[in-house]
Amino acid sequence: MTASNGGPATGSDQRGRHDLTGRSPKARAWRAFFETSAIISDRMEKRLHSSTGLRLTDYNLMLLLAEADNHQLRMGELAEGMVFSPSRLSYQVKSLEKRGMITRFADPEDRRGMTAQLTDEGREVFEQASRLHGQHIKQLFHPALDDEEARIFKLICDQIKATATAEDQA
């Protein structure tokens, strides 16, 4: 990334490292967002996995199914919600299926398509994981924001998401 004047942005942080991200407020915000997202994802992943054996991707896939009618979605709908490539989704679904968390079956409306559904065991595991995951969110995320900051943060995230998805569709 470059500074807003078009030239390379350099400078040193407190530890003497060169900062090549840029000095503009947007460059600094990007760097903070990127680093914070990675840290939070890493901490949430470790906590969830150590307490439930699930990865964040497992949890997110199970969340989408738990929220769906009859706890089931067509694979295409699941892929959209997970923002996964079809091959990555297939791997994730097979992994959860082997563990008895979900089942797959031919879509009754279109036999060419497949549907994934949470099993009874999957619902039980998800309910336990959901409670623990909620505690982790309250420990790592909630203390950093008051309610007004949270509303603003969500608005900003929605704007970034809309920009990124519009770019994908262009």
Span 125-170, pLDDT tens digits: 999 999 999 999 999 999 999 999 999 999 999 999 999 888 777 6
Indicate the residue type of 51. S
Q: b/e per residue, 34-49, with b = 16+ CB within 10 A?
A: eeeeeeeeeebbebbe
20 within 8 A of 8, measured Cβ to Cβ: yes
> Does residue 14 carry a pLDDT above 90?
no
Of 94 and 4, the structure prediction assigns the larger pLDDT to 94
| Residues in contact with 68: Cβ distance below 8 Å, sequence separation at least 6, in sequence order | 77
* pLDDT of res. 16: 63
Range with the lowest mean pLDDT among 13-22, 33-42, 135-144? 13-22
Helix, strand, coil percent values for the chain (each to nearest 5): 65, 10, 25
> Does residue 20 carry a pLDDT above 80?
no
58 within 8 A of 96, measured Cβ to Cβ: yes
* pLDDT of res. 125: 96
* pLDDT of res. 170: 67
Residue-wise pLDDT for 79-103, tens only, equals: 888 876 777 888 899 999 999 999 9
DSSP 3-state of 117: strand
> Does residue 1 carry a pLDDT above 60?
no
Tell which residue, 37, 85, 146, has the closest CA to residue 76: 85
9 within 8 A of 1, measured Cβ to Cβ: yes
Is residue 5 very low, low, confident or very high in pLDDT (cuts 50, 70, 90)? very low
Residue-wise pLDDT for 58-86, tens only, equals: 999 999 999 999 999 998 899 888 876 77
> Does residue 6 carry a pLDDT above 70?
no
